[in-house]
Structure 1
Amino acid sequence: MEPLTSAVLLISGGMDSVALAYWKRPAAALIVNYGQKPFQRELDVSRYVCQDLKIPLYQQTVLPLPAARPVDSPEGHSSDWVPFRNQLLITLGASLSIQFGLEAVMIGTVQTDRKFADGSPSFLAAMMALLQTQEGQLRLLAPASSLSTLELFEISGTPREVFNGVYSCTYAEQPCQRCSSCVKYAEVMASLSERPKIGPIDDCK
């Protein structure tokens, strides 16, 4: 299966990055362990998706972020905010893109992420400018930034059984069903008129 997009996708095993993988078929994907508790669950789903799409998956481990456990943002936004996470992930993805001679790094930002500073249009524009200051041909792609997660799923061609099995909890190895990521998953599944099934794909390990 030939890639459709000359980019490294930042993948987490969650709804948005998984749907983006099926929609845009990137040349490669990168998952980063920055100290988050659910990392193994995120990795399991990401491996399954990348094997299904025949996308090479690269894994990188960095020192745990000082705020790897979600904290309140200074602006009083959601408690699921992790300071400087997206900036770090984009930088690592950009480095991999340059290494492989690709044109872009791709992030799964959706419309509801605008409540976070690092999901806003101004942040994406600033990171794009920074990348092009350093490497003039490298781009930052956020093709779903104007879409809801439901809209992204509907246009992505993601198999329903795969979408049911993404792992979206921010806090723990077992879904807490209270954080905004778990709530979002349940809301999207309800919109699809199916009882939520929160957990990893059964055979993805």
Structure 2
Amino acid sequence: MAKLVGDAVVLLSGGVDSAALAAFTRPALALFVDYGQIPARAEARASRAIADRLGVPYRAVRLPLNDFGGGLLLDGVPLDDAPSPEWWPYRNQFLGTAGAAIALQHNLTKVLLGSVRGDGDRHMDGSPQFYRALTTLTSLQEGSVQVEAPALELTTVELVRKARLDSAILALTVSCHRAARPCGDCPGCWKRQQVFAELDVFQPTVTSNA
């Protein structure tokens, strides 16, 4: 296995937040996880293109969680306890744990997720409390891997600006929860539209029929 430079794995979904985090931190490895989400193929293409553009080593893995999911990212039907339409139970816990296992394979010590300010208002696994608890759990185990969300105090726009993410990489990102092409009518698309507007970046209006 090739030796990597650095100490961190960034979970790169292909979205704006994780792309900006990868650009800001320049991790040893960018990791994409196909966990059974509808837009997985589009996210995989985007994440690889972003990693290539940033010059960051890339790895993609499959962790099928279809039997455990729900909401817009799977079948469009929110679960009874869902705090938001796209909520997937324990998703960041699964992903953070998977990232920690991959980190150990590469002798890395950190896993970085792209949660930003306000994510914890939509679901608990985007909150500071969640990340404190998860990193306590993983650091107790062999390898003492830390699971962190360095941008929790920043908005997406602030993170993009801090990372100096250029428009070419922004154009590669995907955010839709429902389809390979933007549906224009899901929380991911709405957030992307708002962020691009605040950044004064052109966004194509081509949408799917999802």
TM-score by length of 2: 0.86
Equivalent pair of 1:80/1:180 in contact (CA under 8 Å): yes
Shift of 1:165: 2.9
- The within-5 A match list for 1:90-105 is 90-105=96-111
Amino acid at match of 1:90: G
Q: Does 1:129 align with 2:118?
A: no
Amino acid at match of 1:77: P
> 1:198 & 1:146 partners in 2: Cα distance?
30
Q: What do residues 17-67 of structure 1 show as CA deviations (whole Å, max 9, x unaligned)?
A: 000111000000111111111111111111111112221111111223321
Q: What do residues 104-158 of structure 1 show as CA deviations (whole Å, max 9, x unaligned)?
A: 0110010121121110111111101101111363211211011100000000021
Shift of 1:198: 6.1
Which residue in the other structure is 2:51 paired with?
A: 50
C-alpha change, 1:73 and 1:108, in structure 2 (3 Å) is farther
Amino acid at match of 1:98: L
Which residue in the other structure is 1:78 paired with?
A: 84
Shift of 1:75: 5.1
Stretches of structure 2 that go unaligned for 5 or more consecutive residues are none
> 2:117 & 2:205 partners in 1: Cα distance?
22
Amino acid at match of 1:42: E
Q: What do residues 48-92 of structure 1 show as CA deviations (whole Å, max 9, x unaligned)?
A: 111122211111112233215165365552101111111111111
Which residue in the other structure is 1:159 paired with?
A: 166
Aligned Cα RMSD in Å? 1.9
Shift of 1:160: 1.3
> 2:108 & 2:177 partners in 1: Cα distance?
30
Q: How many pairs were matched up?
A: 197
Identity across aligned pairs (percent)?
Answer: 36
> 2:79 & 2:128 partners in 1: Cα distance?
18
SS in 2 for 1:168: coil
> 2:6 & 2:184 partners in 1: Cα distance?
34
> 1:99 & 1:127 partners in 2: Cα distance?
19
Q: Does 1:19 align with 2:26?
A: no
Amino acid at match of 1:97: A
Equivalent pair of 1:164/1:198 in contact (CA under 8 Å): no
Stretches of structure 1 that go unaligned for 5 or more consecutive residues are 200-205
SS in 2 for 1:60: strand
Equivalent pair of 1:32/1:61 in contact (CA under 8 Å): yes
> 2:113 & 2:197 partners in 1: Cα distance?
25
Amino acid at match of 2:113: I
> 1:15 & 1:150 partners in 2: Cα distance?
9
Equivalent pair of 1:71/1:81 in contact (CA under 8 Å): no
C-alpha change, 1:177 and 1:45, in structure 2 (3 Å) is same
